[in-house]
């Protein structure tokens, strides 16, 4: 397994979209998370943005994205293929994104998480020190980590 930085030259955007949509629709039933960053992945090649891919033999097994806004980093598109969960790959991807965030001197990280459907990701965030800022009744929470 390798973690690479997204580049339009390395991967077909459709391959990445298919991986993410498959997880969103089939594992979490979260159509509401289809946002413009998924329509145009090139948003991740801007200076303070990144999309990392966990790959092996040109197959995608995980993604994590960072969108930088002033002093805030927004963590997005953190997905691991079901068969790869619980093996430390999520932590590897998270740590790669976290290094980028620290290098760019962001003051805090924000993310949204469905605490009911994405229990492993939610637990990882808590273990990394994230706190819930706001939570809706359906379990969808805004989380924040001050750096």
pLDDT value of residue 34: 57
Distance CA 68, CA 47 (A): 8
CB 68 within 8 A of CB 48: yes
pLDDT value of residue 14: 86
pLDDT value of residue 139: 86
pLDDT value of residue 35: 63
Cα 124 to the chain's mean position, in Å?
12
pTM: 0.89
Distance CA 142, CA 147 (A): 17
Q: What is the pLDDT of residues 39-51, one digit of tens each?
A: 788 899 998 999 9
Instruction: Indicate the pLDDT class of residue 27, thresholds 50, 70 and 90.
Output: confident
Q: Where are the domains of the chain?
A: 2-107
Residue 39 CB coordination number (10 Å): 10
The topology (CATH level 3) of 2-107 is Aminopeptidase (3.40.630)
Q: What is the pLDDT of residues 48-96, one digit of tens each?
A: 999 999 999 989 999 999 999 999 999 999 999 989 988 999 999 999 9
């Amino acid at each position: 397994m390798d973690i690479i930085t997204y580049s339009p030259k390395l991967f077909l955007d459709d391959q990445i979209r298919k991986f993410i949509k498959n997880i969103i629709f089939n594992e979490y039933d979260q159509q509401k998370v289809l946002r413009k960053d998924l329509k145009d992945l090139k948003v991740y090649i801007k200076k303070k943005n990144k999309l990392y891919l966990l790959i092996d033999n040109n197959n995608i097994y995980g993604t994590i994205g960072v969108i930088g806004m002033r002093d805030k980093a927004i963590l997005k598109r953190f997905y691991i293929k079901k068969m790869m969960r619980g093996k430390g790959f999520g932590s590897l991807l998270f740590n790669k994104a976290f290094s980028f965030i620290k290098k760019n001197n962001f003051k805090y990280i924000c993310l949204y998480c469905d605490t009911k459907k994405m229990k492993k990701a939610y637990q990882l965030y808590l273990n990394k020190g994230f706190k819930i800022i706001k939570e809706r009744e359906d379990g969808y929470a805004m989380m924040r980590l001050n750096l």
